[in-house]
Structure 1
Amino acid sequence: MSVLSTVKNWFRKGGASLGMIKSLTLVTDDRRIAMDPSEYTRINVAKKYYSNDFKPIEFINSYGDKRTRKYETVNVTKLAARRLASIIFNEGCKVEIGDDKKANELLESVFLDNEFYLTFEEYLEKWIALGSGAIRPYVQDDKIKLAWITADQFYPLHVNTNDVKEAAIASKTTVVEDDKNVYYTLLEFHEWQGDNYVITNELYRSDSADSVGVQVPLSSIEEYADTQETATLTGLVKPLFAFFKTPGANNKMLESPLGLGLIDNARSTVDAINRTHDEFIWDVRSGKRRMVVPKSWLKRPNANSRRRDNDTHPPMFDPDETVYQAMYGDDDAIGFHDMSVAIRVDQYSSTMEFFLHEFENEIGLSQGTFTQSASGIQTATEVVSNNSMTYQTRSSYLTMVEKTITQLVDAILELAQCGELFSDGKARWTGDVQKVNINIDFNDGVFIDQDAQLKNDLQALSANALPLKQFWMRNYSLDEATADEWMQQLNSEKVGNDPDPSGEVGLFGGADDGTRTDVGESGQDS
């Protein structure tokens, strides 16, 4: 950093303390953001559980000394979020726009360029764990890119609302200046001012990771040097971001538009699971085999306690042997004792299973999702077929996912109409966003008993209760165009294979009038 920049930062700090320059400790300190800071405290706790970020365990050993050790946890938050994300969304999903070919080509190009179908599942996992998230399309190098946002970065400007139409998005960057870390936070405000959509960018600098800091010019770091402070877009009807929240009401703060993470109503159960697992690991470590023997049994003949080639009575134990532990005292009184402690496997297993069942109920997954049944760990298909709870939970999540993807498509089309954002000044798509028909196929085949469906559909087909085209589409994952091609091929093959009526006559006899030609004049068969 230059001397001039250092002086400017010093003056900004002084100005901030006098109220001359805007300064924020928390993002929620900004007057435009109506969110309660406790919501983001809750989200940060959920983030620690998802990251498996726990402090070491402190304990007192047998000598009364305070010691620390690693907390041996099971990251069930990550496990559950991953499982839910995988059964809710997969790369087999397909998003299309009605009959608008140009809009479809644009959407396919954006999704392909941003690896949407792969990235969405990854971020859905994080959103489920933390409760909320968002996607913001933006233009870079004449291409529409997607920025993925987690709950701790997204700040709705209003509370007590179902639809989030205005928000602030926080992006933190760490830069090394004068051999120390400096933290820059970009706040991007999306607001409606009448019919205009206004995006305001503000950059803040802080020497502490726990504070947003004082406002500085966007040119303070190279990353935002070309970013405009304000951009006003006209003609838009939808916000330029898509918001996701987990299904269900936020019972921690009733007015909040943010969703709840997995541990928000299951924290005590997750703590019990982690504690049980940690104690079992410690029990295994403490329960290793120990044999107490007199110290003289382990005494080396040399004072240096090192084995030498000329030792008369070298040690007879394996050098890696840890079973035998020496004890001071009279050799005859001490004798030989087995001090091993039995490991309580059954007790810990049943305790862990009890808490895992509780956790499954609390997050809406079928019993046996994380525990073992008589036939072993169940697959996703077995879970859904054995208990409908997982399927019901998935359906609730799909409603929110569908809403988010619909908002994203709207935002992409809105952005594509803003020709001023592209170097040639031309819009990439024109039309009425509100009249666009968005179709989302979540590829539910993995959650259906395919054999049972095929059997039932064959019966319906035989009874003329199901069109052949629909049979193909349901059981062979065909789209309508491919099913039409199959139908044409089948019809052409039928025409080619139809028997020739004249051939039948020649083979079996008979004339056009139906009389038989294989009967002689006398009326007898020839």
Structure 2
Amino acid sequence: MNIFNYFKRKGIDTIDASFYRKIQEWISWYKGNVRNFSFYKIYTGRGTYKRCERKSMGMAKKLSEDIADLLLNERVTITLDDEHTNDYVHKILKSNQFMVQGNDYQERKAYTGTVAYIPFLDSADVTEDGVIQSGVIKINYVDGPNIFPVSWNNGKVQECIFTFPHTVNRKKYIQIQSHLIEGDEYVIENTVLRSMSGSQEGTELKEEEWRQLKPFMNMVKKTNTGSLEPQFVIDRLNITNNADANNPMGIAIFANAIDVLKKLDTEYDSYYNEFLLGRKRIFVAPELLYNIDGTPAFDPDDGIFYSLPEDYDKSQEGLIKDVDMNLRTEEHSKAINDDLNYLSLKCGFGPKRYKFDSSGVKTATEIISENSDMYRMIKKHEIILEDALKELIRIIIRLGIVIGEQLNPDSDITIDFDDSIIEDKETERKQDMQDVSAGIMRPEEYRAKWYGETIEQARENLPEQNQVMVME
């Protein structure tokens, strides 16, 4: 379905459709099924072509996995200085499986360029005068192909439309959710289209029609938020968009390394074919193929044996001819390793991220010295991710207050990212322990830092002798 025809009819301006074709190209590399590349033809010399599937190393998928694991994993801690607000936010994040979904959407962010998190109130109880009395805070997760910015300033999206595909009774529908500013507030409006094939626009359903469909039964058609604070969060990689410099969307981590991905897969496919075509063969004269009683002398399913023609000159070559072709393993291996290094460098991981050698396990200190490029790259991406996570938490707090929770909207939020792969955490922890012993760092500061607790929680959880020291 062509969603842009719908936008045009509604008078909605968004990013040019050509950028979304670029996103689809990045997705095809992630899936390993690239148009005009993953399948190719070889001329047989007999007037026909053989269709071949190119073997892939799947490096677009690997790059996306790695950056996701480095940015958001189980060691990332989120701490608010107000204990009750901290507990409430973590309860909401846990009920929405944020650490699982968050990592998944960091990977999606890596190959689509952009993702969004949209907290909302589900099963809301609203009075006749529009006052919300109760509800359950949930989070919708959206990736690049379903995000359509409408207005932005200095790269920050201010108004946006999101789409959510659904299938009901084998029929496809698209929920269109707009977050637009009307006057001095955001208005969230939902529409449902019946999805049509090809370039057709799709049929817009009336409210009484889509309320008969299970995914939309309890959906609110229009919500006046009463606030100029957005109820969505846009998260992207901190890479300048050189595919379309005039839009606020991000680009895939490998967007500028497509040629290297092509070269790697071409080399890997050649390496595969080197072994497939260069395997050992034994040519046998016809009279040796059968025993005296007529039974086969060799296993007919063993592909190593080939029958020689009847007119084969046995006096020159003998009854059995062994052919063992030389494999160009060293050349292929070197080419692949060279391009893995180049791919790693192009994507910000430094030149040795994917170099395979026999040097054994490196220490954390060696990792720091050898991967300064990766360190700077991770820290760069954490700038946007930290702001996105804090913004998400602020929205959760605001929604919690709307449904009557006593929360502190001004709570200080601390995001502690997991830098154990690029920093020597063990050395840092030992240094902090020495600082505690020397009286330079307070025990509760140490515990808050290393156990992901607030200062108040850390002070309460200290052993009795340390609590005495703190009181003194």
For the criterion TM > 0.5, the same-fold answer is yes
Report if aligned partners of 2:160, 2:180 keep a CA contact under 8 Å in 1. Answer: yes
In the alignment, which residue of structure 1 is the partner of 2:131?
none
Q: Quote how far apart the aligned CAs of 1:463 are.
A: 5.9
Q: Quote how far apart the aligned CAs of 1:288 are.
A: 1.1
Deviations 1:114-138 (A, max 9, x none): 1212221121111112110001112
In the alignment, which residue of structure 2 is the partner of 1:185?
174
Query: More deviation in 379-388 or 213-222?
Result: 379-388
Q: Quote how far apart the aligned CAs of 1:249 are.
A: 1.3
Among candidates 214, 223, 228, match of residue 220 of structure 2: 228
Q: Secondary structure at the match of 2:313?
A: helix
Q: Which runs of 5+ in 2 are unaligned?
A: 124-134
Among candidates 368, 380, 384, match of residue 384 of structure 1: 368
Measured in 2, the distance between the counterparts of 1:381 and 1:88 equals: 20
Q: Which runs of 5+ in 1 are unaligned?
A: 1-22, 302-310, 419-426, 495-526
Deviations 1:197-242 (A, max 9, x none): 21121222233165441222242433224433322221x2311111
Query: More deviation in 106-115 or 205-214?
Result: 205-214
Q: Secondary structure at the match of 1:331?
A: coil
In the alignment, which residue of structure 2 is the partner of 1:328?
309
Match status 1:275 vs 2:255: no
Measured in 2, the distance between the counterparts of 1:390 and 1:492 equals: 41
In the alignment, which residue of structure 1 is the partner of 2:141?
148
Question: Residues 402, 226 of structure 1: CA spacing in aligned structure 2 closer, same or farther, 3 A cutoff?
Answer: same
Measured in 1, the distance between the counterparts of 2:451 and 2:81 equals: 23
In the alignment, which residue of structure 2 is the partner of 1:396?
380
- Superposition pairs for residues 172-251 of structure 1, below 5 Å? 172-176=165-169, 182-208=171-197, 211-218=200-207, 219-220=209-210, 221-234=213-226, 236-251=227-242
In the alignment, which residue of structure 1 is the partner of 2:338?
354
- Superposition pairs for residues 84-483 of structure 1, below 5 Å? 84-99=67-82, 101=84, 103-141=85-123, 142-158=135-151, 161-176=154-169, 182-208=171-197, 211-218=200-207, 219-220=209-210, 221-234=213-226, 236-298=227-289, 312-332=293-313, 335=318, 336-376=320-360, 383-418=367-402, 427-429=403-405, 433=409, 435-445=410-420, 447-454=422-429, 456-457=431-432, 460=435, 465-467=440-442, 469-471=444-446, 480-481=455-456, 483=458
In the alignment, which residue of structure 2 is the partner of 1:521?
none
- The one-letter code sitting in structure 2 at the alignment partner of 1:231 is T
Q: Secondary structure at the match of 1:35?
A: coil
Q: Secondary structure at the match of 2:284?
A: strand
Report if aligned partners of 2:79, 2:454 keep a CA contact under 8 Å in 1. Answer: no
- The one-letter code sitting in structure 1 at the alignment partner of 2:373 is M
Measured in 2, the distance between the counterparts of 1:247 and 1:450 equals: 25
Report if aligned partners of 1:184, 1:205 keep a CA contact under 8 Å in 2. Answer: yes
In the alignment, which residue of structure 2 is the partner of 1:14?
none
Query: More deviation in 408-417 or 341-350?
Result: 408-417
TM-score (ref. length: structure 1): 0.77
Measured in 1, the distance between the counterparts of 2:457 and 2:356 equals: 42
- Superposition pairs for residues 42-81 of structure 1, below 5 Å? 42-54=22-34, 55-61=38-44, 63-81=46-64
Measured in 1, the distance between the counterparts of 2:444 and 2:394 equals: 32
Report if aligned partners of 1:368, 1:377 keep a CA contact under 8 Å in 2. Answer: no
Query: More deviation in 337-346 or 57-66?
Result: 57-66
Measured in 1, the distance between the counterparts of 2:452 and 2:151 equals: 43
Higher relative contact order (CA 8 A, sep 6+): 2
Measured in 1, the distance between the counterparts of 2:74 and 2:229 equals: 27
Q: Quote how far apart the aligned CAs of 1:286 are.
A: 1.0
Measured in 1, the distance between the counterparts of 2:27 and 2:75 equals: 29
Report if aligned partners of 2:348, 2:373 keep a CA contact under 8 Å in 1. Answer: yes
Bigger radius of gyration: 1
Deviations 1:31-89 (A, max 9, x none): 32321111111111111111222343322336453222332101111111111111122
Query: More deviation in 465-474 or 393-402?
Result: 465-474
In the alignment, which residue of structure 2 is the partner of 1:490?
465
Measured in 1, the distance between the counterparts of 2:459 and 2:407 equals: 30
Measured in 1, the distance between the counterparts of 2:438 and 2:267 equals: 57
Q: Quote how far apart the aligned CAs of 1:410 are.
A: 2.1
Question: Residues 211, 413 of structure 1: CA spacing in aligned structure 2 closer, same or farther, 3 A cutoff?
Answer: farther
Report if aligned partners of 1:156, 1:164 keep a CA contact under 8 Å in 2. Answer: yes
Question: Residues 432, 237 of structure 1: CA spacing in aligned structure 2 closer, same or farther, 3 A cutoff?
Answer: farther
Deviations 1:329-353 (A, max 9, x none): 5232564433332221111110001
Q: Secondary structure at the match of 1:108?
A: helix
Question: Residues 477, 439 of structure 1: CA spacing in aligned structure 2 closer, same or farther, 3 A cutoff?
Answer: closer
In the alignment, which residue of structure 1 is the partner of 2:65?
82
Deviations 1:3-44 (A, max 9, x none): xxxxxxxxxxxxxxxxxxxx8555664532321111111111
TM-score (ref. length: structure 2): 0.85
C-alpha RMSD of matched pairs (Å) = 3.0
- The one-letter code sitting in structure 1 at the alignment partner of 2:20 is Y
Q: Secondary structure at the match of 1:263?
A: coil
Measured in 2, the distance between the counterparts of 1:67 and 1:380 equals: 49
Report if aligned partners of 1:138, 1:144 keep a CA contact under 8 Å in 2. Answer: yes
Measured in 1, the distance between the counterparts of 2:445 and 2:205 equals: 61
Q: Quote how far apart the aligned CAs of 1:412 are.
A: 1.7
Measured in 1, the distance between the counterparts of 2:256 and 2:230 equals: 31
Q: Secondary structure at the match of 2:220?
A: coil
Q: Secondary structure at the match of 1:157?
A: strand
Question: Residues 469, 493 of structure 1: CA spacing in aligned structure 2 closer, same or farther, 3 A cutoff?
Answer: closer
Question: Residues 414, 478 of structure 1: CA spacing in aligned structure 2 closer, same or farther, 3 A cutoff?
Answer: closer
Measured in 2, the distance between the counterparts of 1:406 and 1:487 equals: 28
Q: Secondary structure at the match of 1:158?
A: strand
